[in-house]
Structure 1
Amino acid sequence: MSASITNSTTRYGWGTILLHWLIALIFIGQFALGLIMVRLTSQRTAFELIQLHKSFGFLLLGLIILRIAWRLGNAAPALPRSVGTLERRAAPLAHLALYAFQIALPLSGWALVSVSTLEIPSMPFSLFVMPNLPLAESDAAESFWAAAHWYLAYAGIALVVLHVAAALRHHFRLRDNVLTRMITPSSGGE
Structure 2
Amino acid sequence: MAQTPSFATRESYTRTAIALHWLIALLIVCGFGLGWVMTDIPGFTPTKLRYFSWHKWIGVTVFALAVLRILWRATHTAPALPRQMPAWQRSAANLTHLLLYVLMIAIPVSGYLYSSAANVPVVYLGLIPLPRLIAPDPTLKVVLKTIHITLNYGLLALVAAHVAGALKHHWLDRDGLLSRMIPFLK
Calculate the TM-score normalised by the size of structure 1.
Answer: 0.88
Q: 1: distance between equivalents of 2:124 and 2:15?
A: 27
Equivalences, count: 175
* Percent of aligned pairs sharing the same letter: 38
Q: Deviations over 1:141-181 (max 9, x none)?
A: 11000110010010111100000000000000000111111
Q: Residue in 1 aligned with 2:132?
A: 132
SS in 2 for 1:28: helix
Q: 2: distance between equivalents of 1:76 and 1:124?
A: 32
Q: 2: distance between equivalents of 1:94 and 1:148?
A: 20
Q: 2: distance between equivalents of 1:40 and 1:51?
A: 14
1:12 corresponds to which letter in structure 2?
Y
Shift of 1:82: 2.1
123-132 or 14-23, larger mean C-alpha shift: 123-132
Q: 2: distance between equivalents of 1:12 and 1:39?
A: 39
Contact 1:109 1:149 in 2 (8 A): yes
Q: Residue in 2 aligned with 1:23?
A: 24
Q: Residue in 1 aligned with 2:14?
A: 13
CA-atom RMSD, angstroms?
Answer: 1.3
2:159 corresponds to which letter in structure 1?
V
SS in 1 for 2:125: helix
Q: Deviations over 1:102-146 (max 9, x none)?
A: 111000000001111xx332111112101111x232211110001
Task: Map 1:101-140; keep pairs closer than 5 Å.
Answer: 101-116=103-118, 119-133=119-133, 135-140=134-139
Q: Deviations over 1:1-59 (max 9, x none)?
A: xxxxxxx7211111000000001111111111000001113621111100110011000
SS in 1 for 2:122: coil
Task: Map 1:15-164; keep pairs closer than 5 Å.
Answer: 15-41=16-42, 43-116=45-118, 119-133=119-133, 135-164=134-163
Runs of 5+ consecutive residues of structure 1 not aligned to the other structure: 1-7, 186-190
Q: 2: distance between equivalents of 1:156 and 1:21?
A: 16
> Does 2:166 match 1:167?
yes
Q: 1: distance between equivalents of 2:147 and 2:137?
A: 15
Shift of 1:71: 0.4
Shift of 1:87: 1.1
Q: 2: distance between equivalents of 1:162 and 1:156?
A: 10
Contact 1:28 1:157 in 2 (8 A): no
Q: 2: distance between equivalents of 1:88 and 1:159?
A: 15
SS in 2 for 1:153: helix
4+ residue stretches of structure 1 with deviation over 3 A? none
Q: Residue in 1 aligned with 2:4?
A: none
Shift of 1:86: 1.1
Shift of 1:90: 2.0
Contact 1:56 1:124 in 2 (8 A): no
Q: Residue in 1 aligned with 2:5?
A: none
1:52 corresponds to which letter in structure 2?
W
Q: Residue in 2 aligned with 1:177?
A: 176
Runs of 5+ consecutive residues of structure 2 not aligned to the other structure: 1-8
